[in-house]
Amino acid sequence: MKEELINKAENHDLNVEDIIKVSSSRDPDISIILQEIKERMSWPTNLVENVDGSIIPPMGMWIDVASEYIVNGYDGLFELAKDENKVRFVIGFLQEFKTSESVNVLLRISDIYSVSSNCQKNTLIKIISGLNRILSFPGAPVIEDSTRSKARELIQESLKLCNSQSEYGNLLCALRGVGDEESIKLISIVPKLVGEWSGTESIVKKAIKNRLKKV
């Protein structure tokens, strides 16, 4: 495993998906290997732009997030997400794990950046996109009704912050996995989506109705 990961890194073939995948076992040895690779490759923890305009991705940050998960689990990721410079990486990491725990942590993170506290629209939209990825497609985890209600309230409250088609579209799509009859009514009064988002409202309503029939 160690040699394989090192070889992929040195050949510039080690990507974020690889890092997330190997961290899923929560094997402490993997964390050590990843940190060794980070040091060996001098990977940055933030975006670096070369003089030629090319971008070096923050692979070092992805390794730090993966290591935090390996060592301290979901609680460690939540603590890391309190840092505004790291929260988007934590969200990106969590959305790759289709578990109820990932949903719960995303919702805990949303409390930090919510409309009623330290409101950061971009972070909230990223969180909701993560929830959409976990809950709106086949293989979604089973979650408590209270968790579904909190996710629904977060999405519907965040709709008030939207001012573009893509923002409305992304948030409406996330209602597929958690919406209810009230959500369907709400969809009918938001600004009509056009262009590439045209028809989103009908798709979301249908998905909600189909899911409610199965409850």
Give the model confidence (pLDDT) of 70-124 as tens digits.
999 999 999 999 999 999 999 999 999 999 999 999 999 999 998 666 678 999 9
**pLDDT at position 117:** 65
Question: Which spans in 159-199 are helix H?
Answer: 165-174, 181-187
Q: Hey, which bits of 2-71 come out as E strands?
A: 48-49, 55-56
Query: CA–CA separation, 148 vs 104, rounded Å?
Result: 10
**pLDDT at position 50:** 65
Position 51 confidence tier, pLDDT thresholds 50, 70, 90: low
Q: Hey, which bits of 71-199 come out as E strands?
A: none
Position 141 confidence tier, pLDDT thresholds 50, 70, 90: very high
Residue with tokens 């969590």: 94
Q: Hey, which bits of the chain come out as E strands?
A: 48-49, 55-56
Residue 51 has a CB neighbour count (10 Å cut-off) of: 5
Among 48, 124, 139, which Cα is nearest to 91's? 124
- Residues 83, 84, 86, 88: is their CA dihedral positive or negative? positive
**pLDDT at position 41:** 94
pLDDT at 174 over 70: yes
Query: CA–CA separation, 160 vs 39, rounded Å?
Result: 44
Residue 62 has a CB neighbour count (10 Å cut-off) of: 25
Give the 3-state secondary structure of residue 48.
Answer: strand
Token pair of 146 as six digits: 């209270």
Mean pLDDT rounded to a whole number for the chain: 93
pLDDT at 54 over 70: no
Alpha carbon 40 to its chain centroid, in Å, reads 28
The fraction of the chain above a pLDDT of 70, given in percent, is: 94
**pLDDT at position 118:** 67
**pLDDT at position 11:** 93
**pLDDT at position 1:** 81
Lowest model confidence (mean pLDDT) among 12-16, 109-113, 116-120, 131-135 = 116-120
**pLDDT at position 62:** 96
Query: Greater confidence, 197 or 117?
Result: 197
**pLDDT at position 214:** 85
- Residues 78, 81, 86, 91: is their CA dihedral positive or negative? positive
Alpha carbon 187 to its chain centroid, in Å, reads 23
